[in-house]
């Protein structure tokens, strides 16, 4: 399946086409392994996932167990967050980093992430020619809740009230959708440059329904935190949509206990911001008050 550059950028949620033109690796080139990390595979009916883990370096600070940061698009971002944790050992050494990736040496698997992070097409709408299959978000949510999180909890003593999910672009859109559908699953959500424009801003309806439920007292938000981030050199649309989302949720739900943070990293682009954000993310999510 071949996508033209414009469609590839769209399906990546704005990731520039330059990421896709990756050099072919020489056959004799050896893989680089990050010291003190683990890697394993988890199989699903739709294809396996490559899971990369930086275990905790010290005993948990709280008796409940270790905090866990789950990274979507793990192939692309695990190295940056691994280094950020190593350089902030006094902050991050009791934390677990879990990167959810795909069995590929490349930073992104376009077809898999396009399926995993998107909702089904609206009724009556057919995919455009050349597009990968979309609409697998429910399967991805089930994989996280029924396979990955329980697997990590079997391997380590995990604090169920300090689990964080981070997604960028399409992954940020998915993280928001999961939060609206299963707010009990993670204590914190980090959505970096989320693609809230996708499918004519479909996610706004989910936001409105979630807000109404929370305001009616049907959703427990005490101790929940949403961190929205963007790069200062991103498009005006991305900056405006991310800022507006932060303002709406803070205004509507802070009274119900939801803490909303909004950070813009100056000079960062759509491609650079998730990596540049690593230090800020760790500092913010690991110092958040535990309820």
What is the per-residue pLDDT for 32?
Answer: 64
**Distance, CA of 203 to CA of 195 (rounded, Å):** 9
The residue assigned the tokens 């996610």 is 203
Judge contact between 207 and 170, C-beta under 8 A.
no
pLDDT confidence of residue 20: 34
pLDDT at 145 (0 to 100):
97
Give the per-residue pLDDT at 155.
97
Which domains does the chain show, CATH number per domain?
35-123+130-286 (3.40.50.1820)
Tokens (6 digits) for 113: 């992430």
Residue 109, helix vs strand vs coil: coil
Phi first, then psi: give them for residue 50, nearest 5 degrees: -95, 120
Contacts of residue 148, Cβ cutoff 8 Å, sequence gap at least 6: 42, 49, 51, 70, 98, 100
CA-wise closest residue to 290 among 136, 63, 133, 108: 63
Q: How many CB atoms lie within 10 A of CB 82?
A: 21
b/e burial code for range 130-161 (CB count within 10 A of at least 16 → b): ebbebebbeebbebbeeebbeebeeebebbee
**How many CB atoms within 10 Å of residue 208?**
13
Q: Which residue has the tokens 């803490």?
A: 259
pLDDT for residue 131:
83
The DSSP-derived string for 205-263 is HHHHHHHHHHHTT-S--TT-EEEEEEETTS-HHHHHHHHHHHHHHHHHHGGGT-EEEEE
**What is the CB-side half-sphere exposure of residue 28 using CA atoms within 13 A?**
0
pLDDT at 291: 66
Which residues in the chain land under pLDDT 50?
1-9, 14, 16-28
- 185 three-state secondary structure: coil
């Amino acid at each position: 399946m071949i996508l033209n550059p414009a469609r590839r950028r769209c399906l990546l949620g704005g990731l520039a086409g330059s990421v896709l033109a990756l050099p072919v690796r020489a056959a004799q080139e050896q893989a680089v392994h990050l010291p003190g990390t683990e890697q394993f595979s988890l199989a699903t009916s739709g294809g396996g996932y490559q899971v990369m883990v930086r275990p905790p370096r010290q005993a948990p600070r709280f008796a409940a167990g270790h905090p866990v940061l789950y990274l979507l698009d793990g192939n692309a971002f695990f190295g940056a967050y691994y280094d950020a944790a190593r350089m902030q050992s006094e902050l991050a050494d009791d934390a677990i980093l879990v990167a959810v990736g795909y069995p590929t040496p490349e930073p992104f698997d376009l077809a898999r992430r396009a399926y995993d992070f998107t909702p089904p097409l609206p009724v009556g709408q057919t995919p455009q020619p050349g597009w990968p299959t979309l609409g697998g978000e429910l399967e991805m949510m089930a994989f996280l809740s029924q396979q990955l999180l329980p697997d990590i909890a079997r391997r380590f003593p995990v604090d169920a009230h300090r689990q964080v999910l981070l997604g960028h672009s399409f992954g940020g859109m998915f993280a928001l959708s999961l939060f609206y559908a299963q707010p009990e699953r993670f204590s914190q959500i980090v959505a970096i440059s989320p693609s809230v424009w996708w499918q004519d801003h479909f996610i706004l309806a989910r936001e409105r329904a979630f807000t109404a439920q929370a305001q009616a007292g049907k959703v427990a938000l005490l101790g929940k935190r949403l961190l929205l981030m963007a790069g200062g050199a991103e498009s005006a649309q991305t900056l405006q949509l991310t800022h507006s989302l932060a303002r709406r949720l803070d205004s509507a739900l802070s009274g119900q206990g939801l803490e909303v943070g909004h950070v813009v990293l100056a000079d960062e682009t759509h491609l650079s911001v998730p990596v540049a954000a690593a230090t800020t993310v760790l500092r913010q999510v690991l110092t958040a008050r535990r309820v």
